[in-house]
Amino acid sequence: MTAAADGAPELPPAFTVVALEEVESTNLEARRLAEAGAPDGTLVIASRQTSGRGRQGRQWLSPVGNLYMSLLLRPQVPIGLAAQLSLVSGLAMADAVRAILPAGATVRPAVKWPNDLLLAGEGGVGKLSGTLLESGEDARGLYVIAGIGANVRVHPGPTDGVFPPIVLAEQPGAHHLMVRDLVEAFGPAFLNRRSAWMRGGLAAIREDWLAAAYGIGQTATVRYGTTPVTGRFDGIDDDGSLLLAQPDGSVRRLAAGEVVFAKPPVTGGA
């Protein structure tokens, strides 16, 4: 790994920023730092990754110009509750994007359960950001690493997802936005959302998450293990499980899975 030449973004003192030019994976680097005793709030940012990863072991393409960061957290909660940090992080990223988009922007950020951030507009819907949550345990107890990637300046190329990649700086009026702008907006947004979560659990941010959610009321299929489940996406409950209404009036609660909506979005920029 090599140190970044342009320095670290300016963030509140709750963060310890480690800015690097190149790493194998920011999540791997954050894990090494965690095992060495790094504190809560350690944030690893890299200009490029040589082996970036998404969910389910998928490759995360990492061209220079986009955001690759991993946030080390040491939540004093059981591991089952710590999984909610994916929703906390996604909502904070939506807050950050909303804060730096120009007034009157024709796109809006939308969270997609459990870990993606979309940009939605008249031209369609595209995937802007994703979070990979990993956990471990050391002498200090449980730690969680939230690995976050976002398409800020560069289109990463085709993917196998239903939602095509979308680039923040390609949106009208947003051409000036850089990785640093997004990171500096995310920092305080995350502290605000995590503080609410720590005080009141997911219930404290659930309504805001639902207000920003993509696909409420739409037919969705959740790929969960070997048996996909289809129903109407009715939101999430207070523990973060997805609520999927069934034709017989019952509701399935799913704690994990990949959501695919029945009507894929229009391909192209929003």
The tens-digit pLDDT sequence of the chain (270 residues) is: 454 545 689 999 999 999 999 999 999 999 999 999 999 999 999 999 987 655 555 555 678 999 999 999 999 999 999 999 999 999 999 999 999 999 989 999 999 999 999 999 877 899 999 999 999 999 899 999 999 999 999 988 766 567 899 999 999 999 999 999 999 999 999 999 999 999 999 999 999 999 999 999 999 999 877 889 999 999 999 999 999 999 999 999 999 999 999 765 443 333
| Single pTM value for the model | 0.91
Identify the pLDDT of residue 264: 53
Tokens encoding 25: 């994976």
- Looking at the chain, the number of H-run helices and the number of E-run strands are 5, 13
* Nearest to 37, CA basis, from 143, 134, 133: 143
DSSP state of 122: T
Cβ atoms of residues 46 and 18 within 8 Å: no
Q: Is the peptide bond before 114 cis (omega within 30 degrees of 0)?
A: yes
Identify the pLDDT of residue 270: 35
Identify the pLDDT of residue 262: 75
Cβ atoms of residues 171 and 269 within 8 Å: yes
Identify the pLDDT of residue 60: 55
Q: Which DSSP helix (H) or strand (E) runs through 187? A: helix 179-200
Q: How far is CA 83 from CA 87, 145, 177, 265, 267, in A?
A: 8, 10, 30, 28, 31
Collapsing DSSP to helix, strand or coil, 91 comes out as helix
Phi-psi region of 130 (alpha: psi -120 to 50; beta: other; left: phi over 0): beta
* Nearest to 28, CA basis, from 9, 3, 46, 4: 46
Identify the pLDDT of residue 8: 80
Q: Which DSSP helix (H) or strand (E) runs through 82? A: helix 79-82
Tokens encoding 221: 């299929």
CA–CA dist 245, 261 (Å, integer)? 14
Give 19's contacts (C-beta < 8 A, 6+ positions apart). Answer: 3, 4, 6, 7, 8, 9, 45, 46
